[in-house]
Amino acid sequence: MIEQVRGALDAALTRVVAAATLDELRAVDAVVLGKKGELARLKTILGSLPVEERKAFGLAINEAVGALQAASTERALELDSAEVSSRIAAERLDLTEVIARPTRGHAHLVTQAWERLEDVFIGLGFQVAEGPEVETDFYNFEALNMPRSHPARSGFDTLFTDYRQLEADSSDHTAADGHEPSVLLRTHTSPVQIRVMQSIEPPIYMVMPGRVFRRDTPDATHMPVFHQIEGLVIDRNITMAHLAGTIDSFTKAFFGGDFTSRLRPNYFPFTEPSAEFDIQRPDGTWIELGGCGMVHPNVLRACGLDPDEWSGFAFGFGIDRMARERHGIDDIRDMYSNDIRFIEQF
Ligand code: FA5
């Protein structure tokens, strides 16, 4: 009989030790120490035993139950501490992570190009000026030799802020009373040339970066809001050769010594003669960058400068397009998508 008790105890101990979680242990306890367990069954036959065997058998069962309870308590402690440890590991919050790997942002691609352009021109002896984004018709067109009804105005698809825009015919932006509204979002940085010539005595060697606006539909090379940098030189005896030399020095400083530039005849009302300037990549292909030319005598006069005494050149090109070229970006719209995966590459 004592053998049966020992066998029941061994089997129960094996199950207690094998319990892998506290829940599992509780279930094992309910079976091996419960009323339907083997030890409880053996206890029921106690009364039917001869008196001389009853004592030793009863003692063996009590000892087995005690040993089983002790083993279960010990196993419960083990499992409890293992579960606490794994919960602590799972809930661990490593505050040093933030300090060890701080994420730093950086200037946007266009801001980087803008700042680098300023640096290059400052290196060539230029100063930097800025003007307002909301302009009057006078600065954006009229003083730039584009009087009202000048056909070149239609080349700048203008956003007017004047209330008369409400009455304007959307096809030619002319108000019902026959006049164009006179307050607008500047369509180029050229009006800053006028403001500079009005406020500074020549000689002038100035670049004017800024944001400009046009009613252009966004596509791979156009944005309705984009950036230009304007250049203006006014001095005595300035010629087209100075213009070409400046463009070439800038090209090499900005893109690298293996890039060259060329001028192609073009037309702008505010310069005469006018040119488009292109730069050539080392692989021989050409990129169109912007416009330039000798400042038109009418523009000098509008700013109170005598064209017989002063001459100069101006240029203007798109900063966004340049950043796009420099980094080989297919679509200019990607630069404004605010997709961090794209922006953080540059
Ligand atoms: C002008 O805006 C003249 N003011 C440039 C100039 C200045 C000529 C001084 C002579 C003397 P244009 O409209 O071509 O010119 O624009 C100049 C450059 O701006 C273009 O070559 C292009 O690089 C950029 N650009 C024009 N429209 C857009 C647009 N919608 N999105 C992005 N870039 C543009």
Write out pLDDT tens, residues 188-217. Answer: 999 999 999 999 999 999 999 999 999 999
The yes-or-no verdict on residue 279 having pLDDT over 70 is yes
- Start-to-end CA span in the chain (Å): 84
User: Which protein residue's CA is at the shortest distance from atom 8 of ligand 1?
Assistant: 291
pLDDT at residue 176, rounded to an integer: 44
- Per residue in 90-120, pLDDT (tens digit) is 888 877 766 666 678 899 999 999 999 999 9
Task: Give CA–CA dist 342/186, Å, rounded.
Answer: 29
Over residues 260-285, the mean pLDDT reads 96
- Domain 109-343 listed as CATH 3.40.50.150: no
> Does residue 190's CB lie within 6 angstroms of at least one atom of ligand 1?
yes
Judged against a pLDDT cut of 70, whether residue 87 lies above it is answered with yes
Q: Where are the domains of the chain?
A: 2-91, 109-343
Average pLDDT, the chain: 89
Rounded to the nearest whole angstrom, what is the distance from the C-alpha of residue 237 to the centroid of ligand 1?
27
Beta strand spans in 214-259 (E): 225-235
Asked if residues 218 and 159 have their Cβ atoms less than 8 Å apart, the reply is no
**3-state SS track over 259-280:** CEEEEEEEEECCEEEEEEEEEE
> What pLDDT score was predicted for residue 169?
46
Which residue bears the tokens 């020992």? 6
Ligand 1 atom nearest residue 214's Cα: 30
pLDDT of residue 171: 46
- Is the minimum distance from the CB of 145 to ligand 1 under 6 angstroms? no
pLDDT for 171-195, tens place per residue? 444 444 455 568 999 999 999 999 9
Mutate to test the pocket of ligand 1, among 185, 187, 188 (most ligand atoms within 8 A of CB): 188
**Cα of 318 to ligand 1 centre, how many Å?**
6
Confidence class for position 49, pLDDT limits 50, 70, 90? confident
CA 291 to ligand 1: nearest atom: 8
Q: State pLDDT tens for residues 106-162.
A: 999 999 999 999 999 999 999 999 999 999 999 999 999 998 888 888 888 999 886
Residue whose pair of structure tokens reads 């030793």 in the numeric block = 56
Return the structure tokens found at 161: 């802020």
